[in-house]
Structure 1
Amino acid sequence: MEIYDKAHELEAAIKECQEYKDLVAAGQELAKDEKTKHLVRDFLMLQAQLAYAQSMGDKPIRKKIDHLNQMAELIKNNQTAVEYLNHYNKWQTMAGEVFQIIQNAMAEGMSILDQ
């Protein structure tokens, strides 16, 4: 089917995308330092937890916010972590926009459920 062909074309385009290549390269560099890798992973997980809690209307826990700020201080002094997170954020933005385009294309078929 043509849609599968287009999906495979998108896969190939992603692999050729400079932002994606930069993220992969930064990830390979990050993987060389286990301590920094764990710091970045824990930072992203805590950031996501706080964002989810906020989206659900929960008040962020001061202790978690303080911990996130402490982690951010450690990260900003670590060039490998900063570089990875910069590429990660660029890619997340781009991937989110691509995903939104796909969702918009599929929305009409799902809109019957909104009525």
Structure 2
Amino acid sequence: MSNVYDKAHELSRTIRESEEFQQLKQLHEAVEQDEIAKRMLDNFRQLQLNLLQKEQQGQVPTEQEITEAQKQMELVQQHEMISKLMAEEQRVSTLIGDVSKIITEPLEELYGVPDQE
């Protein structure tokens, strides 16, 4: 069993050393150093979190909240550094999602893939 954990730690190191992760790390650090960019991104993420929490509680966001979220999204997308960071976050997320699919293949082979609706 320890071999599985060793391989998992090796995979973790490989991800940390990957071009995708290194680029994400550099962009993240750059945004953290830029006070305006950091504040814009923090505000946007807080707004996203608030909307997600509302949805999870079965509440429907108001028209004003939706409009505000759209404005914030447009604003952060216009900021070059934030836009690059968000694109790189998506790239790393896709990478990790792909790895996760590979890791769960043995279970899917054993139990089958649940019907997707």
CA shift, 1:73, in A, is 2.3
CA shift, 1:3, in A, is 1.1
CA shift, 1:25, in A, is 0.8
1:31-70 alignment runs, 5 A limit? 31-51=32-52, 53-54=54-55, 58-70=59-71
Distance 1:105 1:47, change over 3 A: farther
The normalised TM-score by structure 2 is 0.72
CA shift, 1:55, in A, is 6.6
SS in structure 2 at match of 1:46: helix
SS in structure 2 at match of 1:60: coil
| Structure 2 stretches lacking a partner, 5+ long | 112-117
Distance 1:76 1:66, change over 3 A: same
Distance 1:42 1:105, change over 3 A: farther
1:22-101 alignment runs, 5 A limit? 22-51=23-52, 53-54=54-55, 58-101=59-102
CA shift, 1:33, in A, is 0.9
CA shift, 1:38, in A, is 2.4
Aligned residues: 110
SS in structure 2 at match of 1:31: helix
The normalised TM-score by structure 1 is 0.74
CA shift, 1:93, in A, is 2.1
CA shift, 1:54, in A, is 4.7
Give the equivalent residue in structure 1 for 2:15. Answer: 14
CA RMSD of aligned residues (A): 2.8
| Structure 1 stretches lacking a partner, 5+ long | none
